[in-house]
Amino acid sequence: MIVTRPNVAVIGGGLAGLSCARHLQDAGCRTTVFEKARGPGGRMSTRRGADWQCDHGAQYFTVRDNRFRDEVARWEAAGVAGLWEPRLVELTAAGTCARKAPDSVARFVGIPRMSAPAGWLASNLCVHSGHTIVDMQHDRAGWRLKSQEHGMHEDRFDAVVLAVPGPQATVLLAPLLPLTARQTPADMLPCWTLMLRYRTPGIRFAPGYDAAFVNHGPLAWIARDGSKPGRQGSEAWVLQASARWSAAHLEDDDEAVCAALLAAFAELGAPPPDAVTAHRWRYARAANGHSDQPDQHGAGREPGLQREAVWLPAVRVGMCGDWLAGGRVEDAWLSGRALAAQVLTSMACTTSS
């Protein structure tokens, strides 16, 4: 049978899945993205309330690869990303604050929120939000997917891309395929995150910097969300705990985590906020990935992975995501792109015979 326009399902609407889907669609494939959350973006995410917003996943992204540079230029032209030039410091021990020398690193953010580039990428894709894929079934006619919320999807797919964190990909794939060591996901590190709001007039944390790498205690990163371009709403700060602290307190309840991290923030001179929301990222960063943030006290890094993506042509299943490619936003986008190229090559080979 000649498949003239392969029908590809992409599980996961983070940057890797959207990048893969866009490249496949641009090459003529039909694509359908299934995303369990209410919208696309994954860990490039922003929490919003009635009068506030705060990026609580990726804080910024950097550019090393020229292909990603071109993509970021497209995002800038569309008005969904731009440079963030924070007053950045490093807090090396309680009370000491070393201003970071101006570095040559260009830091980008989504505008008006971190999830904006994902929204732009998704805008001309078929994305089914609120679909948590819980089962994949294969027969001679192709792949069928079942979601927790909507049951078995009516379409049959020629190929399936898993663009979810490695441990979540394993849950879906392991019952179907024996994965080799090379295809088995690396561990991922957690990150407890707090979003703080200051609404009381006259009460602000104004330390003379916008963001800080914190190299002691439970905190690893703090940032004033309003210092990023295009932000609106109440004064908001994000606090991210180190990987080591987050792992040690992974199963703590929100209340205990808030108490510990707010105490550490108070030691930096911050007044108590009016409202706090906690979020636990169980799978924040690949344990063997790269990081732009020196948040690694305790993370135990190994050299980064260089696989980019995994494609299993016999069953037409692929995996992409930052965890395969290095752990950053840029790596996620490149991984999705790399997998799309492999799918296209493979499908062309198998469909033209």
Interface contacts to ligand FAD, rule CB under 6 A: 11-17, 34-37, 42-44, 57-61, 131-133, 163-165, 168, 191, 193, 240, 281, 284-285, 292-293, 321-322, 327-329, 332
Q: Which CB, 29 or 329, lies closer to ligand FAD?
A: 329
DSSP 163-181: -S-HHHHHHHHTTT-PPPG
Measured from the CB of residue 30, what is the shortest distance to ligand FAD in angstroms?
18
Measured from the CB of residue 125, what is the shortest distance to ligand FAD in angstroms?
14
Q: Which CB, 42 or 218, lies closer to ligand FAD?
A: 42
Sequence-distant (≥ 6) Cβ neighbours of residue 157 within 8 angstroms: 7, 8, 9, 32, 142, 143, 144, 145
Q: Which CB, 6 or 321, lies closer to ligand FAD?
A: 321
Report the distance separating Cα 274 and Cα 16, nearest Å. Answer: 36
Q: Which CB, 316 or 337, lies closer to ligand FAD?
A: 337
Q: Which CB, 279 or 316, lies closer to ligand FAD?
A: 279
Measured from the CB of residue 118, what is the shortest distance to ligand FAD in angstroms?
8
Measured from the CB of residue 145, what is the shortest distance to ligand FAD in angstroms?
9
Q: Which CB, 14 or 217, lies closer to ligand FAD?
A: 14
Measured from the CB of residue 192, what is the shortest distance to ligand FAD in angstroms?
9
Strand partners, 211: 88, 223
Measured from the CB of residue 263, what is the shortest distance to ligand FAD in angstroms?
20
Starting at the earlier edge strand, list the strands of the sheet with 126-128: 126-128, 30-34, 7-11, 159-162, 317-320, 309-312
Measured from the CB of residue 71, what is the shortest distance to ligand FAD in angstroms?
14
Q: Which CB, 19 or 346, lies closer to ligand FAD?
A: 19
What is the dihedral angle through the alpha carbons of 104, 20, 70, 103, rounded to the nearest 10 degrees? 0
* AA identity, residue 297: H
Q: Which CB, 6 or 14, lies closer to ligand FAD?
A: 14
Task: Tell the residue number behind the tokens 């609120």, with chain if given.
Answer: 130
Measured from the CB of residue 42, what is the shortest distance to ligand FAD in angstroms?
2
Strand partners, 136: 145
Cα–Cα nearest to 110, from 101, 122, 100: 122
Contact yes or no for 303/288 (Cβ under 8 A): yes
Cα–Cα nearest to 344, from 65, 28, 68, 97: 28
